[in-house]
Amino acid sequence: MDLDYLQKSKILKIKDILRFERDSDSKRKRLKMWKQFDCNNNGYLSLAEIDKGFKDLKLDEIFEAKKPLLRAFNQTKGISPAKDIYSDEFIEKNEFRLFLETLYKYYVFWIAFKMTD
């Protein structure tokens, strides 16, 4: 099973957009993405806000990949200690980088498993 050029380019595009690395440029771009996604500015991202955020960014590859998106959301929400009774049900700002990295990994797995079907 070898990824073809189109799949490799999709994966690289996704990695470039998600920007989960720890360098200052990636951090700045993540902050911008966070502000775009957190439309009600409450410091939490719901699954619906994340879904809408990827749709607004016209990132169809992620918007249409519901299984990786849901798995990454469920795995990373509530990782940090709860600030209040609602925080374990949403992605908080300090969990956002990990969410994006987890989403990328699940997306790559999803592509690989789709190839085996």
CATH number for the domain spanning 109: value is 1.10.238.10
pTM value > 0.95 = no
CA 55 from chain centre, in angstroms, equals 12
Print the domain residue range for 84: 5-116
- Long-range contacts: 70-73, Cβ < 8 Å, 24+? 71/102, 71/106, 72/99, 72/102, 72/103, 72/105, 72/106, 73/47, 73/99
pLDDT value at position 85?
80
pLDDT tens-digit series, residues 1-46: 466 777 888 889 899 999 999 999 999 999 999 999 999 999 999 9
Q: Do 30 and 100 touch, CB atoms closer than 8 A?
A: yes
User: Above 90 in pLDDT, residue 59?
Assistant: no
Q: Please choose, from the candidates 98, 86, 101, the residue with its C-alpha nearest in 3D space to the C-alpha of residue 44.
A: 86
